[in-house]
Structure 1
Amino acid sequence: MTSPTVLISGLGSIGLRHTRNLKACGIQKIIGYDPNKERRLSFETTMGLESCDDFEKGLEKKPDLVVIASPNLFHVQQSIAAADHGCNLLIEKPLGTNQDSVPRLIQTIEEKNIFAHVGSNWKFHPAFTKMKQLICDGKIGVVFSSRVHGGYWLPDWHPWEDYRTTYSARKDLGGGIEFDAHELDAITWLLGPVNSIKSMTTNTQILEIDTNDLAIACLKHDNGTLTTIQMDYLYPVYRRKYEIAGTKGILEWDFNSGLTLINKDGETKHFPEEKIDDLNEMYVAQTQHVLEGIKGLTPPVTSVKDASQILDLQIKISRT
């Protein structure tokens, strides 16, 4: 394949991140789509790239890869439209907000034999790949429990825009912390599929939004491990923490302090090499993986079928 043509659907912050990273990886032919005229003009000016005001017009350009970075509500239908045209896919998380058309998407991907990866940038973070390696190698023994927390203060997430207008704050765009958080995807990748879930959600009214801003869930994995997860838009400081306990030791990862292994004897091993200062590195690694994938050189790290299982959990949480 010559240098691929890429269509970016959605020119918000994540769409622009993907654009910058694709350009950094040497991709020159990138087309942006967004229904918002101001975003299109900004994209053309700052990126020096072409944009269009209609998604179908973008597909008529015959892109090799379509990046779905639109609000959650549009992910599945836009992915189906792109797959119908034979385009490879990078779909931002979550896969969607319901399962209604997911089987059709999976069928089209299989029939067209296209590469489709669902956004899962933390799986490309060196601390997460190290945790998975240590767990698989039995370094902490038989894993029996984990505790996970992902939280941040929503108004600080994109300080350049009114958080109340973003998709996260709006039910009509498929927002809500249960759909926004990465933690369900990451912990099932680390510890395996989930067969039972109990959860509670709430809109605390602390923020002026109509979506859930706090969710707490207890998961039972197929291997019997129990996980508790807190996801929220409310923490006054950015918080992302994992604690995974096994019969031989404990893995602790904190966004600020990095990865630590504590064994039964209390001995502690730090992994400073697994801490990165620029989180965009994991997004670049994901971009490189996708570009390899559309050449047929590697499978998706998170397939649509994988993401569909996470969507099941997200839907169950949203209904509590």
Structure 2
Amino acid sequence: MKYKKILFIGLGGAGQRHLRVFRSLFKTNSKYYAFRKTKKTPFLNSDFTVNINKDLESEYGLKVFNNIDEAFEIKPDLTVISTPTALHKVPMFKAIDNNSDIFVEKPWAENSKKFGFFKNEIIKRNLNFHISFQRRFNPLILKTKELLENSSIGKILFVNFNIYSDLRQWHKYEDWKSLYAVNKNLGGGVLLTEIHEIDFIYWFFGIPNSLFAIGGNYSPYNLDVEDTVNLILNYDLFSVQLNLCFLHSDTQRNFCITGEKGSISWNDNNNELIYKVNSDSKKVYKNDLTNDDMFFMQAKRFINSWDNKQTINSLNSAEFSLKIVESAKKSMRRNKIETIKNE
């Protein structure tokens, strides 16, 4: 797909990374525009350090708008949305009104209201849609998907995911307490922010029958969002346990899928996947990919080989990952097992 006019909505850390990626893929053959509401994020290098000697407009040839309606008057071919989660919907629907393809940061929004209408419009207008679950493009995650599809470890017995991150270290250029992730009105909370592994669970195993969640503001900080959640997702013959915390100093991201014939274990800290069959066979897969590499890989796929099937898959992952989050929040409020509606 050749995009002539690309409009970026939001140019914080995530938005600037998408800008770097698309700019490098299209070189100088496309025009770049942006709508920035606060302009609080300075020019960031690829390692997210601040570069006071550069500005976004001159470095990337950007035309920046202060009004979102004026921005859409350019009739973009592609709209890339990287605002705080609670601010995704307005530009997404404006993009649809202008028949623009959509590339949006995860999650789709802070809730699933109006998703059905959105999905129908995307399909009816034959637009391309992608939600940025870039971790799906990690070869180790793709290998896990392959092993599961081939029933390489037999019947699944139980699954465990651990995601411990420390958002206090994410953006050294700003006060972490101002991040969308820790502010309810911006769509924060660990469930929405660390939704990647919820997407993995949906992608690997499908939609769970039910779930039970406990969690809340367990850290010593007085936040209006949940920073820690323990989640059990129930399937017909096995369950998945997911532990989430984004205020944990011992950062780690891993999972172990145990089957009757063996296990699949992934550790993001050392980029390693271990596939065991019985006790006498073990294969270790490694790579040295960076997070930026996965962003490049997903952008290349979106540009070069996207089709209606890929759009439907992306719509489904956006929808059901968010439905799992909403059911988890409901379970925490009611202290009850909640079913997942598969509609």
- Output the TM-score relative to the length of structure 1: 0.92
Q: 2:38 aligns to what?
A: 36
* 1:2 Cα offset (Å): 4.5
* 1:303 Cα offset (Å): 2.0
Question: Matched residues in 2 for 1:297 and 1:318: separation?
Answer: 32
Q: 1:51 aligns to what?
A: 64
Does residue 213 (structure 1) correspond to residue 227 (structure 2)? The answer is yes
Asked if 1 retains the 8 angstrom alpha-carbon contact of 2:8 and 2:80, the reply is: yes
Question: Matched residues in 1 for 2:165 and 2:180: separation?
Answer: 16
Residue 303 of structure 1 aligns to a residue whose secondary structure is helix
Does residue 198 (structure 1) correspond to residue 212 (structure 2)? The answer is yes
Q: 2:328 aligns to what?
A: 317
Q: 1:308 aligns to what?
A: 319
Q: 2:274 aligns to what?
A: 260
Letter in 2 for 1:228: Q
Question: Matched residues in 2 for 1:81 and 1:107: separation?
Answer: 15
- Output the TM-score relative to the length of structure 2: 0.86
* 1:125 Cα offset (Å): 0.6
Q: 2:19 aligns to what?
A: 19
Letter in 1 for 2:324: L
Moved more, 302-311 or 165-174: 302-311
Question: Matched residues in 1 for 2:243 and 2:201: separation?
Answer: 12
Q: 1:9 aligns to what?
A: 9
Residue 240 of structure 2 aligns to a residue whose secondary structure is strand
Does residue 292 (structure 1) correspond to residue 321 (structure 2)? The answer is no
Asked if 2 retains the 8 angstrom alpha-carbon contact of 1:33 and 1:40, the reply is: no
Identity across matched positions, percent = 24
Deviations 1:116-169 (A, max 9, x none): 111111110110000001111121112222100111111011122111001001
Q: 1:279 aligns to what?
A: 291
* 1:198 Cα offset (Å): 0.5
* 1:37 Cα offset (Å): 3.6
Residue 130 of structure 2 aligns to a residue whose secondary structure is strand
Does residue 173 (structure 1) correspond to residue 186 (structure 2)? The answer is yes
Q: CA RMSD in A?
A: 2.0
Asked if 2 retains the 8 angstrom alpha-carbon contact of 1:249 and 1:262, the reply is: yes
Question: Matched residues in 2 for 1:297 and 1:315: separation?
Answer: 27
Within-5 A mapping of 1:46-195: 46-181=59-194, 182-195=196-209
Residue 269 of structure 2 aligns to a residue whose secondary structure is coil
Asked if 1 retains the 8 angstrom alpha-carbon contact of 2:12 and 2:41, the reply is: yes
Does residue 243 (structure 1) correspond to residue 256 (structure 2)? The answer is yes
Number of residue-to-residue matches in the alignment: 316
Asked if 2 retains the 8 angstrom alpha-carbon contact of 1:31 and 1:58, the reply is: yes
Using a 3 Å threshold, how does the CA distance of structure 1 residues 225 and 25 change in structure 2: closer, same or farther? farther
Asked if 2 retains the 8 angstrom alpha-carbon contact of 1:92 and 1:119, the reply is: yes
Deviations 1:37-66 (A, max 9, x none): 444884314433221112222221111111
User: Which structure 1 residue ranges, 5 or more long, are not aligned?
Assistant: none
